[in-house]
Structure 1
């Protein structure tokens, strides 16, 4: 297969082996210096650069994320160096905040073009490589990203040779003749351990994992949330990787055979990455391992390359999102925090992929639960990284909201429902005040409901898989579509009257389910946002711990056992709700429902109030009998 990647041709230089100070002093005053990225930061060269600070004036230092030392950004070196960050890491965040360093908002895929076209000419590149191999090449090791473009376009290339740098495959191989000065300096590589995900991250990962299927191709951002997703994918098969970066969270899935890359459609059998942020454990996995192919950022992050992967799934984090779907990921108000990175590249690339989808994940709150991350409006000074038209799935520990193709009312309701419960009234008040939702819209706070959590994700019925979930306030249109899809006789059998319409007031009441006291289980013909509701079962609590039960199945799905399944599930939920009696009114002609009720122990008799049957199940007696 022909890929979109164009191999680099590097200028031939005359390599010399020297000490760090000698190499650094070849850099001219006032010129731009690019430093290698991530865990491949050449710390020995960085220390030499700062040690020789008196030799420099007004030299701009640029790089994407680095996780090692960054002394050049400290105020005492401001006459010698000025840092310009393509992405802000922990080591230069305060320098940017204090005005001692700059930040450039830019897509990671665009950075190499800046260098190659010399819109941003680079005089010197400081990088770290593995020792030369038998083919006359060194390896960029754990970080390729923007470095090939920098090496090709720079006037001067200085490489720290470190025996601890793994030799990686793909475009990581650089000819020895492409380097001006080699500096031998063995030292442990910088490591970037993630730590164990907290409970909130794990719940977010669990929520997201339900939407990841066998054969999906994954892109993962930085942090505990992507790692928590990976920890919930141990039952998935034939996963693929096409990502700007990966971390230690990948190792277990790779070693256990969950990752095979066999279904990608491009680079099958290979994980495509730009760099890794991890520990020695990961470095050992990628060393001389052809299963991992390293490519530059303009390739890994090109949306037109990304979309060639089948079922491409992007997973990234956000800092804040407003009720219309605007996402801020690089700043906290006016304080710049990180950068654009590859988020937008992968959001757009995955959307264009066959079967692709993108997720933006964030905890529902910040500052120990005192601030909502889902907000009425982005904080003053906060910038939009991913636009409201780009966003698909948004995930918090309280659930998943799908926004793409949804109007402002639907978006507001969906996002409010996955916000922290203590902020939902405030968010709903704003939506009503701006006339984004109906003024009689209810706010639901039932996230501690055990019966809601017990709804199964999917179940096989003969040759069909049905996907189940709770009803949500944003399901108003779905339940109206479900209602209007029924034949008149189905509607009569369900309601014992000829109901001709389901206006928004009634539809809203039906989807505004408080799972702390009531129950509803909706079945869909697919797990995607395009799925149609094909069955619905519910009970509504009345006084004295009695509840009215009912269920309906779309005509072309009847006869599969869906009614029996929903009835049994509703009975178990009612027991958990401490409901004493379930009852229903059933049309004489609804033979199937009568049969299901009888099978589950309901007593059946003629109704005195409607033209039909009255059925009831005394759960208290059933519980006593089972004891």
Structure 2
């Protein structure tokens, strides 16, 4: 293998994962790997990490619990903007491994549907290795790398990582309907992956002149465009496009979708300039103080904060912006997802200071300008009906200590 023991590598995740090589890289011995692999999209198991190899990532996965305990996986709890800062200041990588399209007539290979940290990592890498894959769509307004700059290459013919949202239930459609009613024509939209973002894209078909400024977009963008909901004169921007094979086929050659690095999407200085940014993020639970847990379920780390906190704060403070947290009122047998205080061992991924509105299928809790007690009352009002009396009693106990 071209990569030697002790070398530092950057390996992209999401749709940028170099699937033909990723198992070999993670399973190699003695490498120092930084990666942006995403739970549920780019699965990684403890036993897949080679002896002496250490992997550093933004997202925790339950399958990496053993590796985290042993030190072979390092979960760094920080946002995309903070991770970018770390990459720019840290020791240069020996290699940045990227999956790219075959070179065009000018010798340029497109990064296609995923940029994320790759532009910054390539700048901080001594050498770039290219996995040249004809499945990678050529996106005119995505980063590219000169074929001549690649210090190593391999050819692959493997489909890009895909994502399917699955069936969307009636409660999720109701949440999306509530959110759509909050968003005016001409707004900028940020969403993540999942059932609520997918349903929201459908609920926004009747809107007009919408702009996309998001960390990630999926298949819902096609319906929005076909419905005439998007501003045709705007450069819709994202760090990654992730979805079905049909989405990648649709993306190929499009100049109205700009796939850019984190430095052009997530930074506070960038978000401050995006007017009327409506950031819509999901949470596992929200407590009566307005704190949002996006990472821990039943006391176990299952994910990471990603870019949610970047967008929540950017929208909260930006001109005309709104930070929205969306979640079902209940989750199976786990009970209410509006809770008195975050669960034991859970973390507050998004501060209560960065939340404007919380939406469940039960309604809209607008927290803007409200006192601590008024916020709690509003949040209890969007909890499941059967949970409201117990929550009120629990809040009375909490309030007595404030």
TM-score by length of 2: 0.93
> Hey, what does 2:59 align to over in structure 1?
87
Please say if residues 243 and 272 of structure 1, whose CA atoms lie closer than 8 Å, have aligned partners that are also in contact: yes
Return closer, same or farther for 1:35/1:255 CA change in 2, 3 Å cut-off.
Answer: same
Of residues 74, 82, 87, the one that matches 1:115 is 87
Of residues 123, 126, 142, the one that matches 1:155 is 126
Residue 296 (structure 1) aligned with residue 261 (structure 2): yes
Please say if residues 130 and 152 of structure 2, whose CA atoms lie closer than 8 Å, have aligned partners that are also in contact: yes
Residue 206 (structure 1) aligned with residue 182 (structure 2): no
Residue 422 (structure 1) aligned with residue 386 (structure 2): yes
Return closer, same or farther for 1:298/1:240 CA change in 2, 3 Å cut-off.
Answer: same
Return closer, same or farther for 1:202/1:76 CA change in 2, 3 Å cut-off.
Answer: closer
Return closer, same or farther for 1:153/1:435 CA change in 2, 3 Å cut-off.
Answer: closer
**Partner Cα separation in structure 2 for residue 41 and residue 289 of structure 1:** 21
Residue 36 (structure 1) aligned with residue 36 (structure 2): no
Question: Can you give the 5+ residue segments of structure 1 that lack an aligned partner in the other structure?
Answer: 1-24, 263-268, 438-627
Of residues 55, 79, 96, the one that matches 2:65 is 96
Residue 180 (structure 1) aligned with residue 151 (structure 2): yes
> Hey, what does 2:251 align to over in structure 1?
286
Shift of 1:114: 1.6
> Hey, what does 2:187 align to over in structure 1?
216
Of residues 95, 98, 118, the one that matches 1:127 is 98
Shift of 1:77: 4.2
How many aligned positions are there? Answer: 397
Please say if residues 110 and 298 of structure 1, whose CA atoms lie closer than 8 Å, have aligned partners that are also in contact: no
**Partner Cα separation in structure 2 for residue 222 and residue 318 of structure 1:** 12
**1:310-336: CA deviation from partner (whole Å, max 9, x where unpaired):** 211111101111101111112225421
Question: Can you give the 5+ residue segments of structure 2 that lack an aligned partner in the other structure?
Answer: none
**Partner Cα separation in structure 1 for residue 8 and residue 211 of structure 2:** 38
Shift of 1:50: 5.5
**Partner Cα separation in structure 2 for residue 217 and residue 76 of structure 1:** 40
Please say if residues 63 and 87 of structure 1, whose CA atoms lie closer than 8 Å, have aligned partners that are also in contact: no
Return closer, same or farther for 1:420/1:44 CA change in 2, 3 Å cut-off.
Answer: same
Determine which structure has greater relative contact order: mean sequence separation of CA pairs < 8 Å that are 6+ residues apart, divided by chain length: 2
TM-score by length of 1: 0.61
> Hey, what does 1:524 align to over in structure 2?
none
The CA RMSD over aligned residues, in Å, is 2.0
**1:171-223: CA deviation from partner (whole Å, max 9, x where unpaired):** 42222233211211112112111123122211110111110111111011111
**1:377-433: CA deviation from partner (whole Å, max 9, x where unpaired):** 111211111111111010111011011321111011000010111111111001222
Of residues 276, 281, 287, the one that matches 1:311 is 276
**1:131-183: CA deviation from partner (whole Å, max 9, x where unpaired):** 10122211111110100111111133211101110011324222223321121
Return closer, same or farther for 1:208/1:120 CA change in 2, 3 Å cut-off.
Answer: farther
Query: 1:325 aligns to what SS in structure 2?
Result: coil
Of residues 326, 329, 334, the one that matches 2:294 is 329
